[in-house]
C-alpha cells in the first residue's frame, strides 16, 4: 500500500480523479466531500453539510469545478478555497450516476425495474466563483452598468438582484464589518429579501426592455411567478449550514426541466417451448400436468381463506404426485435388483410415467454396456416421446439415449438388414433380424422429428443437428 487517506467518518461511496491535476475527490456516507493532493498525499479541502450521503460526483471536463448529485439537487463546488458555486433543483431523487456530453450533464436514477434519465444544461449553471449577470439591467443604461467585483473570490460573492432599484449584496463575513455595519448596508440587506408582493411587477422586472441581437434570435417568453411552495423549497435549499457560513456563497438556484420519462406496460413474456432444467423456480411446472384435466370453476374474487385453501390444495396434489413417483421407482428398483434389466425397463414403460423412464435412463446412460438390442426396441418409442416433451431435462435425456443407440447399434442394424438371407433355419438370426427391422422402423419415425428440430438454436439445436448427421445413413 502506497498511502492511506484518513479523515472520513463513514464508508467512502465514490471517488473521482481530476482530469488535469493530481487531485482526487472522495464522497462518503458522512455527508462530506474531501479533496486529496496525490503528490503530497494530504487533504486539500473538505466540503461539509451535504443533505445526505454522497453517492455520485463528477469533475467538469476542463477541471474547473466538481458536480455532486445530491438528493433532488445538483451542487457545483470549488476546492481552493472550498465553496459552492451553484445549486440546481432536479427532482431525480437519489441519483445513481452522472455523465457529461455536449455541455449537458446527464443524471441517471433507478427504482426497481425503472430507469430514469435527467438532463441539466451546463450553460445555465455557474461553474466559477464569479456569478454571471444579466446582459442588460432595466434600471441603468448600458454605459452605467456596474463593473464586476474585483475582490478575492474567497470573501466577496454576489447573487442576482430581486428588484430593479439597486444591486443586492451579501454581507461580508469579516470580523470588522460584523462589529460596525453601516446603515446603508443594513438598508440594502433589508431590501434584498426576495418577497414578491405583485406577480405583474415581478414579470415586468424580470422581462428586460432592451435586448441584444442574437444569432439565431431568442424567443421572448414571459417569466412566470413561482408558486409559494417552490419559493419556500428554494429558500430552504439555498440556506447554508453553520459549518459552511464563513466560506460558502449564497448559490444561484435554478429549476431546470428534464425529459419526460415515458413508461409503458411491460409485454408479458411468452411461455418457453422448452422449460430449462437449471432454474431457481418451477417455470411452467404445474401439478395439473401430471393429473387428469379437471374443470375448475372460475372465481371472480379470492379471500384469504380461499387463497390458503388453494395453496394447500396444490401442495397436497404435488405430494400425491411425488408419492406415486416414489412408489413406481421402488417397483422398478425391485425389478432391477433381480438382475433382469429388460424386465425393469418393461415395468417402467408399463407404468406410463415419463418421469420414471427419465430416472431409469439417466442410470442406464452412465454404463453403455447395459444396452442390448432388445432393450432398444422397448426404449425407442419412449425416446420419441421424450424428444417431444416441453421439459429440458426430458429432451436432454432423450438425446443422450438416442445418441448411444445410434453409435452402438446403427452399424449393426444396417449390416444385418443389408445381408443376404442365409441357407437353412437360424432361430437366433431370425430373432435378431426381427429386432433390427423393428428398431429401423422406429428410427425412421424418429428421424423426421430430429430433422424438424435441427433448425433450433442453442444447446438443443446443436444436439439435434448432431443426431441428424448420425441418422444420415438411414436415408
- For residue 149, pLDDT beyond 50: no
Mean pLDDT for the chain?
73
Beta strands in 194-289 (DSSP E): 252-255
Q: How many CA atoms lie within 13 A of 82 on its CB side?
A: 17
**Residue 333 pLDDT:** 86
Average pLDDT rounded to a whole number, residues 390-399: 90
pLDDT at 39 over 80: yes
Question: CA distances (Å), 102 to each of 107, 114, 257, in order?
Answer: 14, 25, 17
Return the axis-axis angle of helices 354-364 and 304-337, rounded to nearest 10°.
40
Residue 44, pLDDT above cutoff 60? yes
The answer on pLDDT for 144 being more than 50 is no
* Contacts for 389 with CB less than 8 Å, ≥ 6 apart: 354, 395, 398
Range name among 41-50, 250-259, 353-362, 455-464 with the lowest pLDDT average: 250-259
Band of residue 192 on the pLDDT scale cut at 50, 70, 90: very low
User: What is the reported pLDDT for 76?
Assistant: 92
The backbone torsions φ and ψ at residue 298, rounded to the nearest 5 degrees and listed phi first, read -75, 135
> Per mean pLDDT, which range of 41-55, 189-203, 308-322, 334-348 is the poorest?
189-203
How far apart are alpha carbons 39 and 100 in whole angstroms? 27
The whole-number pLDDT of residue 299 equals 52
Supply the pLDDT for residue 271. Answer: 56
The residue with greater pLDDT, 266 or 322, is 322
Give residue-wise pLDDT tens across range 330-361.
Answer: 888 888 888 778 888 888 888 888 888 999 89
Residues 283, 271: Cα–Cα separation, whole Å: 9
pLDDT for res 58? 92
pLDDT of residue 131: 46
pLDDT of residue 204: 60
Rounded to an integer, the average pLDDT of 216-238 is: 50
pLDDT at 112: 78
Cis peptide before 330 (omega within 30 of 0): no
Q: What is the pLDDT of residue 95?
A: 86
- pLDDT tens, residue by residue, 427-464: 888 888 888 999 999 999 998 888 888 888 777 788 88
Q: How confident is the model at residue 473, as a pLDDT?
A: 81
The region of weakest confidence among 283-287, 314-318, 388-392 is 283-287
Looking at residue 210, its pLDDT comes to: 56
The three three-digit cell numbers of residue 240, written as one number:
447554508
Report d(CA 297, CA 305) in Å as an integer.
17
Q: Of 55-69, 281-295, 321-335, which gets the smallest average pLDDT?
A: 281-295
Long-range CB contacts (< 8 A, 24+ apart) of 277-280? 277/391, 277/392, 277/393, 277/396
pLDDT for 262? 55
pLDDT at 83 over 60: yes
Average pLDDT on 171-193 reads 45
| Residues forming beta bridges with residue 78, ordered by sequence position | 83
Residue 400 has pLDDT above 60, yes or no: yes
Provide the sign of the torsion angle of the four alpha carbons 414, 418, 420, 425, taken in this order: positive
pLDDT at 86 over 60: yes
CA distances from 403 to 41, 308, 356, 416, 468 (A): 67, 46, 20, 20, 10
Residue 118, C-alpha cell as written in the block: 435527467
Radius of gyration of the chain (CA): 40
Please indicate, yes or no, whether the overall pTM of this predicted structure exceeds 0.85: no
Express as a percent the part of the chain with pLDDT over 70: 63
State pLDDT tens for residues 405-425: 998 888 888 888 888 877 777
Q: Which residue is listed with cell 434584498?
A: 192
| pLDDT at 31 (0 to 100) | 87
Mean pLDDT within 321-332 = 87
Amino acid at each position: 500500500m502506497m498511502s492511506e487517506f484518513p479523515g472520513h467518518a463513514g464508508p467512502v461511496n465514490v471517488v473521482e480523479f481530476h482530469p488535469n491535476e493530481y487531485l482526487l475527490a472522495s464522497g462518503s456516507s458522512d455527508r462530506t466531500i474531501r479533496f486529496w493532493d496525490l503528490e503530497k498525499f494530504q487533504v486539500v479541502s473538505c466540503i461539509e453539510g451535504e443533505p445526505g450521503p454522497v453517492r455520485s460526483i463528477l469533475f467538469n471536463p476542463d477541471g474547473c469545478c466538481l458536480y455532486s448529485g445530491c438528493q433532488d439537487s445538483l451542487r457545483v463546488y470549488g476546492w481552493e478555497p472550498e465553496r459552492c458555486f451553484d445549486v440546481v433543483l432536479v427532482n431525480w431523487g437519489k441519483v445513481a450516476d452522472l455523465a457529461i456530453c455536449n455541455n449537458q450533464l446527464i443524471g441517471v436514477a433507478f427504482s426497481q425495474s425503472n430507469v430514469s434519465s435527467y438532463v441539466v444544461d451546463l450553460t445555465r449553471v455557474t461553474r466559477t466563483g464569479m456569478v454571471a449577470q444579466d446582459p442588460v439591467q432595466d434600471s441603468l443604461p448600458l454605459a452605467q452598468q456596474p463593473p464586476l467585483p474585483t475582490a478575492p473570490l474567497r470573501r466577496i460573492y454576489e447573487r442576482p438582484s430581486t428588484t430593479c432599484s439597486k444591486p443586492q449584496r451579501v454581507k461580508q463575513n469579516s470580523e470588522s464589518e460584523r462589529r460596525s455595519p453601516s446603515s446603508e448596508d443594513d438598508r440594502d440587506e433589508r431590501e434584498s429579501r426576495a418577497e414578491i408582493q405583485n406577480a405583474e411587477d415581478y414579470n415586468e422586472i424580470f422581462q428586460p426592455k432592451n435586448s441584444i441581437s442574437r444569432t439565431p434570435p431568442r424567443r421572448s417568453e414571459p417569466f412566470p411567478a413561482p408558486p409559494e411552495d417552490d419559493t419556500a423549497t428554494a429558500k430552504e435549499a439555498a440556506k447554508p449550514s453553520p459549518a459552511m457560513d464563513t466560506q460558502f456563497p449564497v448559490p444561484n438556484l435554478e429549476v431546470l426541466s428534464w425529459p419526460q420519462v415515458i413508461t409503458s406496460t411491460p409485454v408479458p413474456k411468452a411461455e418457453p417451448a422448452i422449460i430449462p432444467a437449471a432454474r431457481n423456480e418451477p417455470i411452467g411446472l404445474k401439478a395439473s400436468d401430471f393429473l387428469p384435466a379437471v374443470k375448475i370453476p372460475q372465481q371472480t374474487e379470492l379471500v384469504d381463506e380461499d387463497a390458503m385453501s388453494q395453496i394447500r390444495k396444490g401442495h397436497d396434489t404435488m405430494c400425491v404426485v411425488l408419492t406415486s413417483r416414489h412408489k413406481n421407482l421402488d417397483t422398478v428398483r425391485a425389478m432391477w435388483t433381480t438382475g433382469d434389466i429388460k424386465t425393469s425397463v418393461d415395468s417402467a414403460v408399463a407404468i406410463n410415467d415419463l418421469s420414471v423412464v427419465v430416472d431409469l435412463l439417466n442410470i442406464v446412460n452412465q454404463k453403455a454396456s447395459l444396452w442390448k438390442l432388445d432393450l432398444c426396441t422397448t426404449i425407442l418409442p419412449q425416446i420419441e416421446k421424450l424428444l417431444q416433451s416441453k421439459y429440458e431435462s426430458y429432451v436432454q435425456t432423450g438425446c443422450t439415449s438416442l445418441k448411444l443407440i445410434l453409435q452402438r447399434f446403427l452399424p449393426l442394424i444396417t449390416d444385418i438388414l443389408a445381408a443376404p438371407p442365409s441357407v437353412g433355419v437360424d432361430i437366433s438370426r431370425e430373432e435378431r433380424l426381427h429386432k433390427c427391422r423393428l428398431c429401423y422402423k422406429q428410427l425412421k419415425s424418429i428421424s423426421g422429428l430430429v430433422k424438424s428440430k435441427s433448425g433450433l438454436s442453442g444447446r438443443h439445436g446443436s444436439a439435434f443437428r448432431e443426431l441428424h448427421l448420425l441418422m444420415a445413413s438411414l436415408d
